């Protein structure tokens, strides 16, 4: 128990040290002014093109007229992989993301993932590989003038290649997450070269999930450069003839299950000539958008006095993970302020969390009286983008190391998951400074409508304190549906930030806030709706803070808000908290251990991967030992004497080597032969065996045993016995009993029989001089 307490104390001290180093302000410099803004330096694994300035105008959303959807004609197609599809349609290829890609090449380990890029982190700077070949600068392959031109070489883009299937019909394959075998649900690409009025059908062949909101009315997000220049229109929803169904293409993993991809199909009519149109799963929010937004706050003297920024750590890709602190500059009641933590973008393909986070930051730095009240009573710690590497490189769910950040909070690796590792330590240190009352992790959901939360609860009862803040948010947020909220602690989500923070820090209100990709009641969410969700979270929090700080005010007559909500919860019917969560296992898309070992440094290996390496080393040693034995045997056989000497030495061969070549006489190499021979007066000459005839392993081992015994006899011949030997006689044989008086032997032999004919020739003293004990055998 004492050792456990010591370990807990040391870990808590480490958390406090990390928090102190990150929150300690640098000394003031009188000569140089303090730089508040952030340098926009986005680092990617490969060069990227700049994107247009999205979201400059938040205009009223205009729902496009949607034509009736046609039923999908499900044709019985032959099952095949994406690589087989490419080999059959390589003449129709019109776009691939990198010019050097040899899409027909197969991996040397017979594991060819068609659209996976590997980043090797064994060196100082990661290097990108595709099926064993390194990638450098990308170049677009030339397209014909009458064809569309695709592009995804920009931030958050992930189109891997495109094929022209028919006139105005194009098949698209999405890029897998870096260092994974799948995770293809997010898409973001651009199209140019279309004519006004031209209708094009897009088929996305390798979608991940078995069900999607596209079958319920969700439309892709579309941004037109010319329409933005003319009408100041930002991102909107568009497209028609939308369907989502099971594809005929088989996943490369696992091959035994022959699981299939899913396909998204939609059509779009272009409105302008020479226009560039962007298509995405939802409204994109890039790492550059975040840095530009933070700079607008830091450049504003009215807002930057409430917010300070700090670099939490550097990611694997070289980007910076920011942590923001928002509170009042006043020192009054600073020690009594509550702690609140917000996190976003653990999954890079869920940009809704960034828009909600932007609404929270804008509200908390505004001059709103409720915001000022929150700043005076709370200290906010905000992690606006946890997985900036995944956002930059177009991943949907994982970071560059190929794992889900929201499944690494139990034991994060300092080198593979630095943002999770340092964020967890930071939150723990913050909890030792003051009481944390609320933690919210912002996400997006692709299979449910509206917005809702996942919470934790010790029991399935409706009237629990963990549900209070969720119901309060649903009352104050018109876009939130409380009936969709669930409060469970599932084993499959045990390593998430929500469950781990709830367990380790004992905080009641720890939620995963989910916003739908679609909207509410089959109406699309706009960007401003996501921002308003963040504002409603802050308004709900102000009600709770006022309720918990009544002892410092004169509002004792106001009824307890929490008690009112608990009474209201008690009147609600019991729910089973069933969740329509993800139907895919993260372990299916992760690389195998032998592939991970080749990409990362040994200090990042897990215990399972270290054991895997040990097994590989033992196998290599076994192979090398077998090879050395074979080479030694061949060298001995090559040194065989002439045929005349062979015939003369055949008569001198020992009886043990003249045994027939029969499998029944072969002894396994693990069994040690212990043979006892009669004592001889004089030392015999080394036994010469015809090595050219040693084609049998059994005979070869017999010869090695004889040579080894003679060497041991020569080595111990000059030594004196160190054990007491007593003599006893019988009619047929004389028996010597070995009695150990000093220390226990490794291989003790209690007795051994000696032939009478051999003993009668020598005296007892000579026998003691001749007989020696070595390990597990007597040597004569």
Catalytic residues: 514
Convert 322-331 to b/e letters by CB count within 10 Å (16 or more is b).
Answer: bbbbbbbeee
CB 363 within 8 A of CB 311: no
Are 252 and 81 in contact by the 8 Å Cβ rule? The answer is yes
Helix axes 468-476, 561-570, angle to 10 degrees: 100
Classify the phi-psi angles of 361: left when phi > 0, otherwise alpha if psi is within -120 to 50, otherwise beta: alpha
Q: What count of other Cβ atoms lies within 10 Å of the Cβ of residue 389?
A: 28
- Integer CA distances (angstroms), 499 to 65, 383, 504, in order: 43, 18, 9
Q: Is 666 exposed, middle or buried (0-12, 13-18, 19+ CB in 10 A)?
A: middle
Q: Please write down the HEC assignment for all residues of 718-769.
A: CCCCCCEEEEEECCCEEEEEEECCCCCCCCCCCEEEEEHHHHCCCCHHHHHH
- From 777, 718, 710, 773, select the one nearest 743 (Cα to Cα): 773
User: Which of 102, 158, 166 minimizes the C-alpha distance to 134?
Assistant: 102
Cα distance between residue 109 and residue 131, in whole Å: 10
Distance, in Å, from the CA atom of 222 to the CA atom of 241, rounded to the nearest integer, reads 15
Distance CA 664, CA 647 (A): 27
How far apart (Å, rounded) are the C-alpha atoms in residues 283 and 356?
12
CA distance 5 to 200: 66
**Which residue, 396, 501, 505, 416, is CA-closest to 454?**
501
Whole-angstrom distance, CA of residue 430 vs CA of residue 19: 7
DSSP-assigned letters across all residues of 675-692: ------SSPPPPPP--GG
Instruction: Annotate 409-470 with DSSP letters as a single string.
Output: SSS--TTT-HHHHHHHHHHHHHHHHS-EEEEEEEEEESSS-SEEEEE--SSS-SS-GGGHHH
Q: Phi/psi class of residue 57: alpha, beta or left (left: φ > 0; alpha: ψ in -120 to 50)?
A: beta
Structure-block tokens of residue 259: 């699981």
| Pairwise CA distance, residues 312 & 668, whole Å | 61
Cα distance between residue 149 and residue 210, in whole Å: 30
């Amino acid at each position: 128990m004492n050792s456990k307490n010591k370990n807990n104390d040391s870990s808590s001290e480490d958390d406090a040290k990390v928090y102190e180093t990150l929150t300690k302000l640098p000394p003031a410099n009188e000569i140089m002014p303090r730089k508040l803004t952030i340098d926009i330096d986005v680092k990617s694994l490969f060069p990227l093109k700049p994107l247009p300035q999205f979201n400059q105008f938040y205009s009223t959303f205009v729902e496009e007229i949607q034509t009736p959807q046609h039923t999908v004609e499900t044709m019985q197609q032959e099952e095949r992989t994406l690589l087989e599809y490419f080999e059959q349609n390589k003449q129709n290829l019109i776009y691939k993301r990198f010019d050097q890609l040899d899409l027909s090449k197969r991996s040397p380990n017979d594991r060819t993932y068609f659209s996976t890029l590997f980043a090797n982190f064994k060196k100082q700077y990661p290097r990108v590989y595709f099926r064993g070949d390194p990638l450098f600068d990308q170049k677009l392959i030339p397209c014909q003038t009458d064809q569309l031109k695709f592009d995804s070489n920009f931030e958050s883009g992930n189109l891997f290649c495109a094929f022209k299937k028919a006139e105005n019909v194009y098949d698209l394959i999405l890029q897998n997450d870096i260092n994974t075998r799948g995770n293809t649900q997010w898409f973001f690409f651009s199209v140019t070269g279309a004519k006004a009025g031209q209708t094009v059908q897009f088929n996305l062949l390798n979608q991940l999930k078995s069900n999607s909101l596209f079958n319920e009315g969700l439309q892709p997000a579309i941004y037109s450069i010319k329409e933005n220049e003319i009408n100041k229109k930002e991102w909107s929803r568009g497209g028609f003839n939308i369907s989502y169904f099971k594809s005929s293409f088989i996943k490369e993993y696992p091959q035994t299950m022959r699981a299939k991809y899913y396909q998204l199909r939609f059509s779009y009519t272009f409105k302008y000539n020479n226009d560039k149109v962007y298509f995405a799963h939802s409204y994109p929010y890039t790492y550059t958008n975040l840095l530009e937004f933070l700079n607008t706050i830091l450049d504003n003297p009215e807002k930057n006095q409430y917010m300070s920024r700090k670099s939490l750590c550097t990611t694997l890709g070289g980007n910076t993970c920011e942590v923001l602190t928002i509170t009042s500059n006043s020192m009054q009641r600073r020690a009594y302020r509550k702690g609140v933590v917000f996190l976003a973008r653990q999954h890079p393909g869920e940009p809704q969390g960034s828009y909600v986070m932007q609404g929270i930051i804008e509200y908390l730095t505004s001059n709103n009286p409720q915001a000022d009240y929150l700043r005076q009573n709370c200290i906010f710690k905000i992690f606006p983008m946890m997985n900036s590497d995944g956002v930059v490189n177009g991943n949907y769910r994982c970071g560059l190391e190929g794992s889900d950040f929201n499944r690494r909070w139990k034991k994060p690796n300092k080198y593979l998951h630095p943002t999770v590792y340092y964020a967890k330590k930071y939150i723990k240190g913050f909890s030792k400074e003051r009481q944390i009352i609320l933690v919210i992790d912002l996400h997006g959901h692709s299979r449910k409508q509206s917005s809702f939360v996942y919470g934790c609860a010790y029991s399935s009862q409706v009237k629990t304190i963990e549900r209070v803040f969720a119901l309060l948010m649903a009352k104050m947020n018109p876009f939130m549906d409380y009936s969709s909220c669930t409060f469970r602690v599932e084993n499959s989500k045990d390593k998430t930030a929500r469950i781990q923070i709830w367990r380790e820090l004992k905080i009641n209100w720890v939620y995963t806030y989910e916003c739908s990709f679609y909207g509410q009641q089959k109406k699309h969410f706009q960007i401003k709706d996501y921002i308003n969700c963040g504002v409603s979270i802050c308004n709900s929090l102000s009600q709770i803070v006022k309720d918990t700080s009544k002892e410092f005010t004169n509002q004792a007559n106001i009824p307890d808000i929490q008690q009112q909500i608990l009474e209201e919860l008690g009147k609600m019917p019991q729910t089973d908290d069933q969740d329509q969560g993800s139907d895919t296992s993260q372990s299916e898309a992760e690389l195998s251990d032998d592939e991970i070992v080749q990409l990362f440094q040994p200090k990042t290996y897990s215990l399972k991967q270290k054991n895997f390496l040990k097994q590989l080393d033992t196998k290599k040693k076994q192979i090398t030992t077998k090879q050395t034995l074979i080479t030694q045997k061949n060298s001995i056989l090559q040194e065989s004497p002439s045929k005349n000497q062979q015939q003369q030495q055949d008569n001198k061969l020992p009886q043990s080597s003249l045994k027939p070549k029969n499998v029944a006489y072969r002894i396994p190499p693990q069994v040690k032969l212990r043979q006892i021979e009669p004592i001889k007066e004089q030392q015999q000459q080394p036994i010469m065996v015809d090595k050219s005839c040693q084609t049998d392993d059994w005979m070869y081992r017999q010869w090695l045993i004889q040579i080894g015994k003679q060497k041991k006899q020569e080595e111990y011949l000059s030594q004196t016995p160190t054990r007491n030997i007593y003599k006893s006689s019988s009619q047929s044989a004389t028996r010597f009993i070995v009695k150990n008086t000093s220390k226990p032997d490794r291989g003790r032999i209690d007795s051994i029989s000696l032939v009478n004919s051999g003993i009668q020739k020598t005296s007892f003293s000579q026998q003691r001089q001749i007989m020696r004990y070595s390990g597990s055998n007597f040597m004569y």
